[in-house]
Structure 1
Amino acid sequence: MRSFLTKTLATRCGQVLAAGSAEEAATLCAQHRFDLLILDIALPGKSGIELLRELREQGHSGEVILITAFADLDTAIEALRAGASDFILKPFRIAQILNAMAQCLERSRLARENFVLRRTLSEKRPASPLDGFIGNSPAMASLQHALRRAAAVPSTVLLSGESGTGKELAALALHARSPRAAGPFVPVNCATLSPELIDSELFGHARGAFTGAARHRDGLFYYAQGGTLFLDEIGELPLAQQATLLRVLEERRIRPVGSEQQIPVDVRIVAATNRPLAEEVRAGRFRKDLYYRLQVVEITLPPLRAHKEDLPALAQHFIATLAPQLGLEPFEITAEQMAYLQQYDWPGNVRELRNLVERSLILGALNVQALYPGLEPVPQPRDASAGAAAPTDLQTLERRHILSVLESVGGDKTRAAALLGISRRTLERRCAEWQAAAS
């Protein structure tokens, strides 16, 4: 029976390993991660049900099909209580075992998909990408072209650009347009992971691997199988974890913390950073070999100030999207208001524009003076005979706006950064630059 199953499944599965006893099977399970186990109940020595109980107690969460030639109702109940996914009587046809396997693997796929969806909802991330980026500017056209070309190949992609330029949206678009679109998209923000738990989050851990590890846990690489793993803020990853990630990218295998298992992974990596990684490499804060491994394809997302001609379309899109979500009436942006917005430098990029639209919807109108206290109104056009009006200094406008927001929240940089739609680090860097210039 073991030989028959091995020959039958070898051409249908990625890898098939066989064991003649529960003890031999336990050794294999300690070395490999199996998506599916087929266990005979009547084995020499320990029974299949006993082995199944032990595996479940150790945290094995994979699918298990039990087979037997001597079954009664009590045996079936005992098997289900031990954690069997299915129960098949011998002799059986090939179609029976293949059908049972298909159901088990589909159940496993749905479990991974549900995990990804719950995680996406809990973090309030977009579940699916927009049908392309908003805007018809040359910068957006170039970005769209680059994303279409990169999506068609399995290579690792590095997305670079300032905070708020839409790097996660670009990663979603890459996934949706790729052959992996049917697989999961698993985003993870490296900056929010505790340094002590990064390996566990990414690669999983075995039961008892560290204090508090009461059961086996799968990592995000496992849940991204067949799909895309999006590593946001990759520049925040500690050097030790950079070395581990490099090894995974080269070997395409992961090892859960505290385990000897080597688990093959079929995952496409898309990484993103708002830091200039080349400078981080020169400063010794990022591994050169990992940088070149990630930079197979690099796509830079343009800041909003580089394609301001897309402002009207972006603003209208956010109004049309957010108004129904908030249950509020949409508002119109006048030509004068748009002229004002066109002069602003948008340090928080598209995210800041979205925040502006949301606040305006809540207030019932776009009131520039109320939302941006302390800023001067847009200069009105003057008659040619009187001379042209001096253009607004964008850097001064940006500085005045940021400082006014800081003042309105009593100097709280965390709150100010949230209102501006930029990271606290970006805000602190701008303030440091202004202090240095003043001295």
Structure 2
Amino acid sequence: MSDSADPLSPAAEPAWPHAAALIVDDEQGMRHFLSRALAPRFGRVDAVDSAEAGRDLVAAHRYDLVILDITLPGLSGLAWLRELRAQGHAGEVILITAFADLDTAIEALRAGASDFLLKPFRVAQILNAVQQGMNRSRLARENWLLRHRLAQQPRELPEFVGRSPAMRALIDALARVAPVNAPVLLRGESGTGKELAAQTLHRGSARSGAPFVRLHCTGLSAEALESELFGHAPGAFADAIPGADQARDGLFHYAQGGTLFLDEISELPLPVQASLLRVIEERQVRPAGSRQKIPVDVRLVAASERDLAAEVAAGRFRKDLYYRLQVVEIALPPLREHRGDLGLLFEHFVALLAPQLGAAPLRLDADELRYLQQYDWPGNVRELRNFVERSLILGRINVTALYPAPAASGPEPAEGHAPGAAGGPTDLQTLERRHILGVLASVQGDKGRAAQLLGISRRTLERRVAEWAAEAQ
């Protein structure tokens, strides 16, 4: 069970510092041998002499790897493996035994074993099996992260574009904060690039090679958010979430070593806020319905369109969580505060989108740029991108489409004329209101579709309409 050239000498650094391994074998010598082999390579290694003792540990901790003897006193290794898989345990399980034949090996693989080794084995053999198993775990995690990124369909800028003082100040702030391993709170209106800022912080940190995971906190129940963030034990949310009869890992698990971005964190229900605060303070995650406490190493970046200080005052957000998140706060300027960047942004989106759409590039002339700079851009950079995309599809830049006037107010300005010319409206708030109401009318009052076309969130649209309705009373 040992190699002559000191095979148990520890590596310079653990190969899997965030992973935990469990050894289950009734022979003390085998437990000691495997513990020596794995301890330098894992963040945590536990060893017990029975499946019953292993069951208690698995209930309290998450293990990425289990090395399990088949022949044990009491519950056999195969029986416990079937139990683990039935409960949704997805970690790697390597079965070992001194007595085996082909039928036993086949039964082990059918039960869900990742590998099967016959005693006695050398250190190189067990380490090779462990390496292969951990590689499978890594690939499974990377596949999940890839599907997660594709499902999110990010539509933000790949990088911040702009030379205005406001944008230079933002870029400088992100560069200063990125290397600091502390929570960051991003504050800004919808469409200002909060997710892009979070990605910039991640790329500029020592965690850049680790996962970047995003969760949009709106539109989910408290149970669904608990499950998404922290995971759950089998059956914890069976009545609230379809298909929740098996264990599930949360986003903190998939973001291990990297960055977790919580968009619109103001929408978290108060019970979930309490759970999140506990994770930040203890640096451990406890899946819902489980006794497991899983150590986590994740940088948290949160974003909110709402003023969290006002939400705290209103009793909708926990003060202690707010101060935990607000270690560093960065405000993202709305587009109306850096209109000088409109030309650069327009050119950037044309260069980005024209090849994707197979459309001919468009160029702004001085008058068109001036008209765009008069508009208030309630959807900010996201709305500008949508405008560029529509213009490329139509093959022309129709700036007057941003200022539709009600029919009773007379004909719309002719294309190529400034919205304020010849008695047209010049009040930017009035122009914004007419544009939003015009888009809303064009989709027969469908607020979800109107918000999508405008490039703003549905909540922002509903708030603007409610404000105008109150003013009319």
TM over 0.5: yes
Of 3-12 and 288-297, deviating more is 3-12
Post-superposition Cα deviations, 1:76-117, rounded to whole Å, max 9, x if no partner, equal 222211111122232223233223222222221221121121
Aligned partner of 1:45 in structure 2 is 74
* Displacement after TM superposition at 1:252 (Å): 1.2
- Picking from 322, 329, 332, the partner of 1:291 is 322
The residue number in structure 1 matching 2:41 is 12
- Contact persistence 1:188–1:232 (CA under 8 A): yes
Q: Are positions 1:414 and 2:448 aligned together?
A: yes
Counterpart amino acid of residue 408 in structure 1: S
Q: Secondary structure at the match of 2:131?
A: helix
Aligned counterparts of 1:216 and 1:258: Cα–Cα separation in 2: 10
Determine which of 149, 152, 167 is the counterpart of 2:176: 149
Aligned-partner SS, 2:82: helix
Q: Is 2:218 the counterpart of 1:187?
A: no
**Closer/same/farther in 2, CA of residues 137 and 371 from structure 1, 3 Å limit:** closer
Aligned pair in 2 of structure 1 residues 129, 329: CA closer, same or farther (>3 Å)? closer
- How far apart in 2 are the matches of 1:380 and 1:429? 27
TM-fit CA distance, 1:399: 2.4
Q: What is the DSSP-based 3-state SS (H/G/I as helix, E as strand, rest coil) of the residue aligned with 1:16?
A: strand
Aligned length: 431
Q: Which residue of 2 aligns with 1:363?
A: 394
Alpha-carbon contact 2:400-2:419 (below 8 Å) kept: no
Against the structure 1 CA distance between its residues 10 and 365, is the aligned structure 2 distance closer, same or farther, given a 3 Å change threshold?
A: same
Note the C-alpha offset of 1:344: 0.9
Contact 1:372–1:405 (8 Å) recurs in 2:
no
From 389, 402, 418, the counterpart of 1:378:
418
| Worse-matched range after superposition: 183-192 or 323-332 | 323-332
Percent of paired sites with the same residue: 67
1:152 alignment partner AA: P
**Worse-matched range after superposition: 43-52 or 215-224:** 43-52
- What amino acid sits opposite 1:146 in the alignment? A
Give 1:259 shift: 1.2
Partners of 2:303 and 2:35 in 1: CA distance = 43
Which residue is 2:229 aligned to? 202
The equivalent residue for 1:385 is none
**Unaligned 5+ runs, structure 1:** 383-388
RMSD, matched Cα: 2.3
Within 5 A, what are the aligned runs for 1:21-40? 21-40=50-69
CA deviations over 1:275-306 (Å, ceiling 9, x no partner) = 00000101111100000001011111111111
Secondary structure of 1:271's aligned partner: strand
Letter in 1 for 2:329: E
Partner Cα distance (1:81, 1:262) in 2: 30
- 2:167 alignment partner, one of 103, 128, 140: 140
Higher mean alpha-carbon deviation, 86-95 vs 111-120, is at 86-95
Partner of 2:108: 79
Aligned twin of 2:380: 349
| AA in 1 matched with 2:380 | N
Report whether the alignment pairs 1:178 with 2:205. yes
Among 266, 269, 289, the residue aligned to 1:235 = 266
2:157/2:193 contact within 8 Å kept = no
How far apart, CA to CA, are the structure 1 residues paired with 2:371 and 2:280? 47
Structure 1 letter corresponding to 2:463: R
Shift of 1:271: 0.6
Please report the TM-score for the alignment, with normalisation by the length of structure 1. 0.92
Aligned to 1:106: 135
Counterpart residue identity of residue 175, structure 1: H
Aligned residue among 190, 193, 204 for 1:166: 193
Q: CA deviation at 1:272?
A: 0.5
SS at 1:196 equivalent: helix
